[in-house]
Each structure stands twice: as C-alpha cells, then as structure tokens.
Structure 1
C-alpha cells in the first residue's frame, strides 16, 4: 500500500505537491469515489482516475541526456523546435526533463516519469550541486566573483551563495573561462548572474549535476541511470534537507 499522492507522482502525472492539490480539489477518484484525504493509501488493485482519466501506472525510468545547444528543455514546443524528448523516440514512458537547461546551454540533463523524484531534486533546499563551465566576455576581478560567491541580487531576488573559480583567461580576446557551482534552478540563472557583474556569457555547459557527468557521451546521446545512481541522488537530496 502506498499513499495516493505518491502513486500519482510516480505515474508521471504531476509532482507530489501538485498531486496533493489535485486530491484536495476533488479531482481524483479511487474505484469511482472522489477522495480528498491526503493520507489515503492505495494498492495496485485500486482503479485511480485523475480528472476523469485512468491512471496508467508506469514503471519509473531515469535517464541522463547530454543536451546539445539549440534544443528546448520541454516535451513539446509550439514553434516546432527540437525538444529533449525527441532524443528518446523508442521510450514508451511519458518522460519529461527535471528542471531545465536553456536553449543555448549544453550538458547534463536528467529526464524521468517519476514526479516525486523530480520534485525532490528540483527543490532548492535540497542543494544538489550544479556545476557549470562558462566562457564569458571580459575578465572578472576577484571582487566581482566574490559578489557571485556571496549571492547577487537579480530581478527575481537574491541568489543563494555560489562557488566560482577562474580557470583560464585570454587577455588578447578579453575572455575568460569560469567554473560556477549553484544549487538553484531559476530561469537562465547563470547567464543573468554573469550579466549582473558585466561579463555576459558567450558559451555555457552544465558539466555536472550532483555526481553525474556526461563522461563517455556525445551531444544528443543518453544513458539510463543505474538503480544505485538513483538511490544515491535520493540520499544526497534528502540528506541536505
């Protein structure tokens, strides 16, 4: 027996928090009866419907994609652009990306049909490190990088402290390559952080997500996460609550 909201999340319908809202709003039925109790437990024998649609209980799947640039982190795009799920034509489960990498950013992106798992990893309080390598215009001073390390004010609020490291600089071209580690997932956050210190990003790659890298993969290639990796990510997220 498992909690109803967890079963809905694992089916890839919504995150556990959103599933709880659906239950409270009376949009979920179990064996034909509306259920509004969050503590309700169900078994594999129960027939569950969300918004009148029978719940298909998929086995949870977990993938790591080396996202290329020029691809949208979504399951569809109204402008007909390439999306990350296009790289999984043979996968029958309804997978979707955990968080996002913007159109011009490459690197590690996880996809799953497990809403509970996705919600766990995306919540900023769980502090999963995201390591980016940025090529930026200009050569930031130590003081400028310290602004990022302490947290910098953007239009949507103060960022959490980051960790930055100047890797190389090119005085002739007036460019530099910087490693930055964050654990938030705001829209275009890294780009906006560098813009805020006057060093716009020219190229950006997410090199690591937690302990996962794209080692051995080419852009557009993917692999399934091992059960141990999934367990490790859960443990890492829950330990940092």
Structure 2
C-alpha cells in the first residue's frame, strides 16, 4: 500500500512528520536508489527506502491493531482541512507512530473504525478488489416497501459513479414513520448509504457502522477504543457470512433467445 514517504519515515520513528520532510528536502532520502522530492510515495512491502544510506525497516515494528468507536462530528483523518477545528480520530487514540485507517466514516456517521500500523492488512481490507464486508445499522425516515428494499439490494445508479454493487438490506424494525435496517456492503463509495437512501426517497436519520468483517463494535461507547487481540484480528479478516448471498446476487448476463424461442 503506497503512502507518502515522510509518513513511512515517521512511522519508523525517524522523527516528526516535519522533521522527516526536511530530510527529504535535503536530498537525504532515496526510493529504489533514486533521490526523491517531497510528496513522493512508496510501498514499504515492495520499495526500498534509504535515509543517509541506511535502509528503512518497518517490519521490525510491533504490530498494533485498534478498534475505535468514532463519534459523530469527529473526522476520519489525521490531516484536516486548514481552519477545520473539529477533532480527528487521532485526537482520540493516543498511540505513537503512523496508523493506517480501515473503514473511514463521514463526520455525520458513527461506529467502528480500525487503526493499525500493519500496511499489508490495511491494503487487504480497504482495496475494492477484495470486497471485504462492512455492516451498518441505519435508521431512515419513512417505511420502505419490499420493492424498494429489493432495488437497494440489487443496485442503485449514482450520478457520476454508476451502479452500486449488490448488498444485503434487512429490515429490523419499522414504527412511527422510521425504519431500522441492517445493511451489509462490500464497497464504500463516498457517502453511499446516505445517497442511495435519499435517491430512493428515505433519507437517513442515523448511521452507525457495527462491524468490519466479523469484528463487532461490541460494548465500545462513542470515543472509546481498545487494542485488538489475535482472535479479534482473525475476526477482522473474516467476511460476514452474508457475503455468499451478496455475490450470488450479482447480475448475470442474459442468454440471447434462440430463434425457436423468440415467438
């Protein structure tokens, strides 16, 4: 997984991000034997990074895996836009070194995100081709009927992004003009659930991610976090069982009718 070289250097405890940027400006950092400029990226699993001729080694680091219950109005970034004074997830998790984020959430949403210095795992669980599952508890305004649920599950066209992939949508409760659903997805377009819900006529009231793979949010309250043990990491790697039905729901090309079938 490619990251900016100064982030990787800071992760290897070579100094603060700014100090590492200065080393790059001074021409003391190379990737695969070539001096780099500030902003260059590298994949530590494939590229060789050297500082003053010494190879940067990240494999010797103790692997850290953290589950956080991100509260509403907290940013899923460690680099907010200038002037944005809202807290970030890194303000809540006091662990040294760079951490990759698995499962970013928009500021209006809450729930499970995972932070780790294991770049290989982060890539495995975030790259679209691996179709790793994430589970959400979603409350919408209105009472969607079975046809709407079926349409949501099969895919909805998003302007500028095309069709969404098949997902699992299960109604858990419907009362007083509100519907609570469990949604299991294998993709994560920007604000996808909110956009799909609005297009179908049922805007989101609350959205909480409850699960990544088979790792549950558990009893963590908003703002709380804990380190994961070996069993937790195995659960994180495993997909939700509903992935089988989601995959089987992918549209299949229709066979052209033969001549004797057309009439």
TM-score normalized by structure 1? 0.74
Higher Cα Rg, which structure: 2
Alignment: residue pair count: 209
Query: Structure 1 pair 157/65, CA: closer, same or farther in 2 (3 Å)?
Result: same
Distance 1:231 1:206 in 2: 19
Superposition pairs for residues 64-143 of structure 1, below 5 Å?
64-77=67-80, 78=82, 79-89=84-94, 91-143=95-147
Residue-by-residue CA offset, 1:125-161 (whole Å, 9 max, x unaligned): 3222211111101110100010111111112111110
* Aligned-residue offset at 1:99: 3.3
Superposition pairs for residues 170-185 of structure 1, below 5 Å?
170=175, 173-185=176-188
Question: CA RMSD of the aligned region, Å?
Answer: 3.5
Q: Which runs of 5+ in 1 are unaligned?
A: 15-26
Aligned counterpart, 1:29 = 31
**Residues 153 and 167 in structure 2, CA contact (< 8 A), matched pair in contact too:** yes
User: More relative contact order in 1 or in 2 (CA 8 Å, sep 6+)?
Assistant: 1
Runs of 4+ in 1 over 4 A off after TM superposition: 10-14, 234-237
* Aligned-residue offset at 1:200: 0.5
Distance 1:147 1:189 in 2: 15
Aligned counterpart, 2:50 = 48
Aligned counterpart, 2:256 = none
Superposition pairs for residues 156-171 of structure 1, below 5 Å?
156-170=161-175
Query: Structure 1 pair 143/13, CA: closer, same or farther in 2 (3 Å)?
Result: farther
2:202 equivalent to 1:208: no
Query: Structure 1 pair 145/75, CA: closer, same or farther in 2 (3 Å)?
Result: same
Instruction: Name the SS for the 2:179 alignment partner.
Output: strand
**Residues 11 and 115 in structure 1, CA contact (< 8 A), matched pair in contact too:** no
Residue-by-residue CA offset, 1:91-112 (whole Å, 9 max, x unaligned): 1121132231111111111111
Distance 1:112 1:12 in 2: 16
